[in-house]
Structure 1
Amino acid sequence: MNKSDLIDAMAADAGITKAAAKKSLESFLGNVENSLKKGDRVSLVGFGSWSVSKRAAREGRNPQTGKTIKIAAKKVVKFKAGSDLQNSVN
C-alpha cells in the first residue's frame, strides 16, 4: 500500500472526501516528523512507537575497493510495533 492507496482507504472508511483524508494524513505525518525533530517519542498505544536514536561514527569498507572509509555519526528514526499490531500480523 502506498500513500495514495492509504488516502483512498481512509476516505472510504471515514466517509470523507479524498482531499480531507489527504489533509488529515499529511497533518499526522507532519506532526510525527516535528515531534521526532524535537527529540520526542511518538507513541500510539497498540500500534507502535517512533523514536530517534543516535548512531555513532564508525569505520566501514568500500565494497568495490576494500578501502576503509569513515561513516559519520547521525540520528536515525526507529519504529517498534505495538503488541496489538504484532499480534494481528501473526
Structure 2
Amino acid sequence: MNPVAIGNSQTAQTLRLNWPDGRESLLSHAELRRQCPCSQCRAFRLQGTPPMVDPRVRVIEINAQGYGLQLVFSDGHQRGIYPWPYLAQLPS
C-alpha cells in the first residue's frame, strides 16, 4: 500500500505520509535514521549497538524506488531503502 501523499518538513524535522486508509504517519528524521533498514544499520541493531544519531539530522533528499523510499540524510547516510510496509509500521 503506497501513500497517497508524502511531505518533508525541514522545520519540524518530520516526514509525513498520508495512507489510502486515511491514516497519517509523522516520522521524525532522527528516528528514521535510527531505524534505517540497510544491512549495516540492521546489523548494529541486532548486536545491541544501534547507530548513534545526531538529533539534528535531516532528510535532505527523497528518492522514490517504486516499493518504497530511499532517504538521504544530512549526515551523508543514504544506503537504506525504506519499503512502504516498513514505513507504515514505524511508530509516529
TM superposition score category, shorter chain reference: under 0.3
Per the normalisation by structure 2, the TM-score is 0.24
Per the normalisation by structure 1, the TM-score is 0.25
- Greater share of helix residues, 1 or 2? 1
Name the larger-Rg structure: 1
